[in-house]
């Protein structure tokens, strides 16, 4: 292989590293990102969520992927999949129970995704408690307080609906759970379910709020977050 070819390959690999691609973001896959997780005040949810959160199966399944991981991490009653009998586990497909199929069928979610209000109902239809908040009705301080309260409660999870545009990432509307909070940097760790695009990422709370403020054209409302709890 020539030196020129080697340099071209190195350049492509460097470009593919997300840690250098978006200003203000710190990816968990960097030494600094790892250190922040280990030193974070509230990091317990990372271990339970990381054990169950899987990559979204299709581009619009960030909602079902997040809900399945959250449900499994909270230990609520799980459905049985025939090919895994007798073991039980929520999968993205199995979040579409009868109630969710009636609300917004699989095919429609596959083409449109879920709005914040629909995400709330989708979660409740699986037997969990959900409380959604729009970012344009929630200030930065209230957002921070909600994040800290959810992460401090073993029976709660924080699910975010935000726009990648405010983060400088590729794409727009997205849903993923928050797995940790670090007070020293006032940043949260987003456990991105689009694992084929980005690894988990640290983002400052103010920037996170700005990403939630961007409008969801499907609902004509701002984005926001859902506090999910065991019943």
User: Could you give the 3-state DSSP secondary structure of residue 21?
Assistant: coil
Give the range among 2-16, 80-94, 146-160 with minimum mean pLDDT.
2-16
CATH level 3 topology of 25-229: Cathepsin B; Chain A (3.90.70)
User: Of 71, 79, 17, whose CA–CA distance to 229 is shortest?
Assistant: 71
Local confidence band at 24 (pLDDT 50, 70, 90 cut-offs): confident
Q: Is the pLDDT of residue 8 over 70?
A: no
Whole-angstrom Cα distance, residue 130 to residue 229? 7
Q: Report pLDDT for 12.
A: 36
Whole-angstrom Cα distance, residue 231 to residue 219? 27
- Residue whose pair of structure tokens reads 């726009």 in the numeric block: 163
Residue 114 is classified by DSSP as: -
Q: Is the pLDDT of residue 96 over 50?
A: yes
Domain locations along the chain: 25-229
Q: Is the pLDDT of residue 14 over 90?
A: no
Query: What does the pLDDT average to over 210-222?
Result: 96
Q: Is the pLDDT of residue 73 over 80?
A: yes
Express each pLDDT in 118-141 by its tens digit. Answer: 999 999 999 999 999 999 999 999
pTM confidence score:
0.90
Q: Is the pLDDT of residue 83 over 80?
A: yes
- Residue whose pair of structure tokens reads 């004509």 in the numeric block: 220
pLDDT: is 20 or 73 the higher one?
73
Local confidence band at 84 (pLDDT 50, 70, 90 cut-offs): confident
CA angle 230, 58, 86 (to 5 degrees): 50
């Amino acid at each position: 292989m020539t030196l020129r070819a080697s340099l071209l390959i190195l350049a492509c690999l460097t470009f593919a590293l997300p840690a250098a691609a978006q200003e203000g973001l710190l990816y968990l896959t960097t030494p600094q990102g790892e250190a922040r997780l280990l030193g974070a005040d509230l990091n317990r949810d990372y271990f339970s969520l990381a054990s169950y959160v899987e990559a979204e199966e299709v581009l619009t399944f960030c909602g079902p992927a997040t809900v399945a991981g959250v449900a499994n991490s909270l230990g609520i009653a799980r459905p049985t999949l025939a090919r895994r009998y007798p073991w039980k586990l929520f999968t993205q497909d199995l979040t579409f129970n009868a109630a969710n199929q009636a609300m917004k069928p699989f095919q429609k979610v596959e083409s449109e995704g879920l709005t914040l209000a629909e995400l709330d109902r989708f979660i409740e239809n699986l037997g969990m408690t959900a409380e959604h908040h729009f970012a344009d009705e929630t200030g930065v301080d209230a957002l921070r307080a909600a994040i800290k309260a959810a992460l401090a409660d073993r029976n709660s999870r924080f699910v975010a609906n935000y726009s990648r545009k405010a983060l400088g990432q590729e794409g727009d509307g997205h849903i993923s759970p928050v797995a940790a909070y670090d007070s020293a940097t006032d940043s949260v760790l987003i456990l991105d379910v689009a694992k084929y695009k980005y690894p988990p990422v640290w983002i400052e709370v103010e920037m996170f709020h700005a990403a939630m403020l961007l409008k969801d054209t499907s609902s004509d409302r701002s984005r926001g977050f859902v506090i999910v709890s065991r019943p």
